[in-house]
Amino acid sequence: MSLRTRKLIGVFALFALVIVWALAAMAIAQFPPIFQNPLIAGLYYFVAGIGWVLPAMPLVKWMSKQTVRRR
């Protein structure tokens, strides 16, 4: 698979990941223990805001991997 194709697939996958992650984070944030306590809410939003990077890292690595051409 060419690098260009990997990047195209990766862009759509990252876009889907961010949308699903944001929707899930918003839904979980409505639970009473998180919603009612500002300290827990702040910690939750920090973790939820940074947490999407962990599943995105292998995808970005895959996107940038060069293919070896044999002669």
DSSP string, 23-54: HHHHHHTTSHHHHH-HHHHHHHHHHHHHHTHH
The reported pLDDT for the residue numbered 18 is 94
* Full residue range of the structural domain in which residue 53 is found: 3-63
In this structure, is residue 70 part of a structural domain?
no
Condensed to tens digits (0 to 9), the pLDDT of residues 4-60 reads 889 999 999 999 999 999 999 989 888 888 778 889 888 999 999 999 999 999 999
How many domains does the chain divide into? 1
Residue 19 lies in a domain: yes
Give the confidence band of 68 by pLDDT, cuts at 50, 70, 90: low
The model's pTM: 0.76
Is 31 inside any structural domain? yes
Q: What is the DSSP letter of 66?
A: P
Does the residue 68 lie in any domain? no
Supply the pLDDT for residue 71: 65
